[in-house]
Amino acid sequence: MKNLLKTFFFIILFLPGYLSFSQNTIIHDIPWHSDTVGMWGSGSTAWSINQIDTLVDFTIGPYSDQYSWVYTMPWPIDDSVGMIFDYGAYASMQLIFEMVGWSGGAVKVNYPTKIQMDFPPNGSFSNGSWVTIPSEYREQDTIVHPTDYDNWDIYADWPDAGKIELFINMDVQAHADLIYSNPSDPFNITWDTLHVFEPININLDTFDIFLVDLVNGEYVIPWVAYHVDPFTGNTIIDSVYFLHDSIGWPLQFPPIFYDLIGISGDISIPDIQNYTKWIENEQRLYTWGNDEYLHINLDIIKFVEM
């Protein structure tokens, strides 16, 4: 009985001191999540390429003039005879490259964490003194930590639709006319026009040389129709034209392009597969992806000799 009282008395004396200096540990679960993180920097919500380059831009003219050799006949004819030369010319052209509409791109992140903070024991510091509160955090992962209730995840939505276009705006006008009188009937002189050349009037507005429109599923590319002579084995070009069609992927350049100018290749729709990883020692989530959607083969010697 005496030993029991001593033990009880010791516990009563020890316990208040132990409680007054016990460390307080607090654990918070923070289920951080977002579907609106910009892929292209802090605060960004979208990314786009709006590249419009005017590669060629020139204007000639307008030039025009008129030279006349006209003689007025006296009475009783009282009319004019002669010749007038009239000409004019104007030309303008723009060659424009556009790469537009490749917009979007966002990151969806699920980043549940456990944050542990260790507060110093009661009575181990005085009023007004600095204290250190150690803290650490980790991501939740039910595979590594079966008692966790959530998992980290990151998903990247890459932009994969837009338009690439190379087009011409062209306006060409020219004429050269010889206007002359017909004196076959002196009392009824008429005037006729003789075109030195047929008047030229070319007006091309956004004439596509090359177009790949992934949004609307259209393309325009230069194309070559050809055949091989069965006797000589030579390649015979039948026609050169622009191919318009709905897109079928991959889009391949005609094989004869390589024979003619040393270029071949294909282009397909970018389809970027995502890969994610948690870097423990950096406590970061990573996502990355790539897609080889453009292949170009170039014979530099043949290309230079073109």
Most confident range (mean pLDDT) of 54-63, 147-156, 176-185 is 54-63
Res 249: pLDDT = 67
Alpha carbons 171 and 91: distance in angstroms, whole number: 6
Alpha carbons 214 and 198: distance in angstroms, whole number: 41
B/e letters for 11-22, b = 16+ CB within 10 Å, e = fewer, are eeeeeeeeeeee
Q: Longest Cα pair distance anywhere in the chain, in angstroms?
A: 163
Closest Cα partner for 85 from 4, 168, 176? 176
| Straight-line distance from the first to the last Cα atom of the chain, in angstroms, rounded to the nearest whole number | 112
**Secondary structure letter of residue 9 according to DSSP:** H
Tokens of 236: 């015979």
pLDDT in tens, 101-148: 776 667 788 888 889 999 888 888 888 889 888 888 888 888 888 888
Report the half-sphere exposure of 79 (CA within 13 A, side-chain side).
14
What is the rounded radius of gyration, in angstroms, for the C-alpha atoms of the chain?
41
pLDDT in tens, 224-252: 788 888 898 888 888 877 777 665 667 77
Alpha carbons 157 and 134: distance in angstroms, whole number: 37
